[in-house]
Amino acid sequence: MDLTELRAVAQKEKDRQRPTRIHCCTSTGCRAASATEVYNNLKAAVKAQECGDRLEVVSVGCMGFCGQGPLVQVDPDNHLYGQVKPQEAESIVTATLGEGRTEAEQLDPEQPFFAYQTPVVRKHSGKVNPESIEEYIAVGGYESLYKVVHDMTPAEVVAEVSNSGLRGRGGGGYPTGLKWATVAKMPEGQKYIICNGDEGDPGAFMDRSVLESDPHLVLEGMAIAGYAVGADHGYVYVRAEYPLAISRLQKAIKQAKRYGLMGSQIFDSPFDFKVDIRIGAGAFVCGEETALIQSIEGARGNPVPRPPYPAQKGLYDCPTLINNVESFANIAHIIGEGAEAYASIGTENSKGTKIFALTGNIRNNGLIEVPMGITLRTIVEEMGGGVPDGEVKAVQTGGPSGGCIPKDLLDTPVDYDSLKAVGSMMGSGGMVVMDQNTNMVEIAHFYMEFCREETCGKCVPCRTGTVQLHSLLTKLLKGQATATDLEQLKQLSYMVQETSLCGLGMSAPNPVLSTLRYFPEEYTSLLVQPAYLNGHAAEPAITATAKG
């Protein structure tokens, strides 16, 4: 395969495509709302009305407005239908042909939910068939890979990624270019690329959507990374709960191999790169990079102390580059459009866009890709359409590692540093909106229960600390806790945060600490006086630490 051949494939595909395309989302969210039947009915209707020469029905990935699924969108008219029922499919085809009307609910594709978005990673999501490599090539896919393999040195690729300002989208926000440079600078020899698709935060489904909607985008990013750091083997680690993502990835890898875009001598160059899939067995902690590596090696998914970092000594003790799905999905765009164009989106220290899974007590649920620096208020009130009845109380970001941001701080810009400053974190992109009826102690209790179940059990503070924190929160909710218990809750939170081995334990108390910081009255209102005190003030159970 060379560039001419790649473009010939693209041209052939463009010629094949019908002028009018009815896109039907068949990703997990819409599928749960019977999108498969809608798709089949659309297909049948096209066949019955014998209009296959002008019109085609395409199974596509996520369009983002998941709360309104199943979604059907028509190009080039840009009509968007929401909550389509299987029996409405036929009339959509008729309406598209201009031969009738449809009862299907039409949505405004220009509404704020879409208008504020800047699609980079999700540019082709919902537009191309994720199971067709030709469709991906037709929209310029694999051109970036060709560009790096033929026109750039590995060092130039690393520099380009560094200049783009891209930071890890898994939540940590470590500069991606710096990570690439570290692995690239390790002595030559076996190196690995790992794509972390073990997304497990409650309410988060960004990576699933990217893998389901545009698997080739992730594979291309991984191959470019392989070329940049000198690795010839990559692994995609996907959780077993994402069967559709896994099957689409498998198909994508097969197709890429067939075209010579994966495997040996990619684009007739000396660069080899192959990708294998590893399926997680259901442990949240395997999203932690060292545990993930253990899991790929076939061992128990326990984190191990860092340093050495995976970049120095990772999979099978070889230098390993491990990035999140969304990070890899940004790469092809950065190479294609240039680092400068990418860096023009976002803020000073947080470049580009971020995908969020907007969920909770909010009108518009779904996936949004927004430029960094947009305020939470814009996301929640304008894009999300606000809370159905009542008002926003808090926004939870960062999943069980993050925190709750109160409504007074809704003007906080969404970027790594600002979110950290208000006691939460970017995280992988979960964003749960809560209304005035939400009990914040219950929220903290929910996340602590999650961490208690998901801790691997290796280190003492995380294994036993989360259990004690959970039981203290339970005691509070039962109205049996005293001021001593609350003080103990605080001190133990600091202790677990500071002494745990890996990120899971270090961040497990965050939901408690952030709700304590912004909603202390919800905790104190639950306290009772211990009977033996007879009205005297209680002494703190544990003397204050330096941090306390």
Partner 1 sequence: MAVNTLTIDGKEIAIEAGKTILDAAKEAGVPIPTLCHMEGVHDVGACRLCIVEAEGTPKLLPACVTAATEGMVIHTQTEKLQNYRRMTVELIFAEGNHVCSICVANGNCELQDVAVDVGMDHSRFSYRFPDRGCDLSHSQFGIDHNRCIMCTRCVRVCDEVEGAHVWDVGSRGPDCFIVAGLDQPWGEVDACTSCGKCVDACPTGAIFHKGETTGEKEGDRGKMAFLTTAREKQEWTR
Contact set with partner 1 (CB under 8 A): 283, 300, 302, 304-305, 307, 452-461, 463-468, 471, 488, 491-492, 495, 498-501, 541-543, 545-547
Q: Which two tokens stand for residue 491?
A: 């001190």
The answer to whether 41 and 87 are in contact (CB under 8 A) is yes
How many Å apart are CA 123 and CA 142, to the nearest integer?
15
CB of 464 to partner 1, least distance (A): 4
CB of 488 to partner 1, least distance (A): 7
How many Å apart are CA 385 and CA 431, to the nearest integer?
14
- Closer CB to partner 1, residue 274 or residue 313? 313
How many Å apart are CA 506 and CA 195, to the nearest integer?
23
- Closer CB to partner 1, residue 403 or residue 461? 461
CB of 538 to partner 1, least distance (A): 13
- Closer CB to partner 1, residue 115 or residue 299? 299
- DSSP, collapsed to helix, strand or coil, labels residue 238 as strand
How many Å apart are CA 239 and CA 502, to the nearest integer?
20
CB of 487 to partner 1, least distance (A): 10
CB of 493 to partner 1, least distance (A): 11
- Closer CB to partner 1, residue 343 or residue 467? 467
- Closer CB to partner 1, residue 380 or residue 504? 504
How many Å apart are CA 376 and CA 412, to the nearest integer?
6
CB of 457 to partner 1, least distance (A): 3
- Closer CB to partner 1, residue 286 or residue 321? 286
Radius of gyration of the chain from Cα atoms? 25
CB of 332 to partner 1, least distance (A): 36
CB of 304 to partner 1, least distance (A): 7
How many Å apart are CA 26 and CA 479, to the nearest integer?
47
CB of 249 to partner 1, least distance (A): 26
Phi, psi of 484 (to 5 degrees): -60, -40
Q: What is the SS3 assignment for 505-540?
A: HHHCCHHHHHHHHHCHHHHHCCCCCCHHHCCCCCCC
**Long-range contacts of range 529-534, CB-CB < 8 Å, 24 or more positions apart?**
529/482, 530/482, 530/484
Strand 353-360 to 430-435 pairing: parallel
Which residues are bridge partners to 102 per DSSP?
Answer: none
Residue with tokens 């930071």: 167
CB of 164 to partner 1, least distance (A): 29
Q: Which two tokens stand for residue 449?
A: 């229960």
Q: Residue count of the chain, please give it.
A: 548
- Closer CB to partner 1, residue 30 or residue 489? 489
- Closer CB to partner 1, residue 200 or residue 360? 200
- Closer CB to partner 1, residue 4 or residue 543? 543
- DSSP, collapsed to helix, strand or coil, labels residue 358 as strand
- Closer CB to partner 1, residue 117 or residue 497? 497
Phi, psi of 235 (to 5 degrees): -125, 135
Residue with tokens 């919800």: 522
- Closer CB to partner 1, residue 87 or residue 545? 545
CB of 196 to partner 1, least distance (A): 20
Which of 431, 508, 489, 496 shows the shortest CA–CA distance to 465? 496
Alpha-helical (H) ranges within 165-324 are 176-185, 206-213, 215-229, 243-258, 289-296
- Closer CB to partner 1, residue 221 or residue 509? 509
CB of 285 to partner 1, least distance (A): 8
CB of 225 to partner 1, least distance (A): 28
Q: 181-196 burial by CB neighbour count: b if 16+ within 10 A, else e?
A: bbbbebeeeebbbbbb
- Closer CB to partner 1, residue 147 or residue 306? 306
- In what order do the strands lie in the sheet containing 79-82? 55-60, 20-25, 72-75, 79-82, 105-107
How many Å apart are CA 541 and CA 348, to the nearest integer?
45
Which of 466, 348, 479, 471 shows the shortest CA–CA distance to 415? 348
Q: How far apart are the first and last CA of the chain?
A: 62
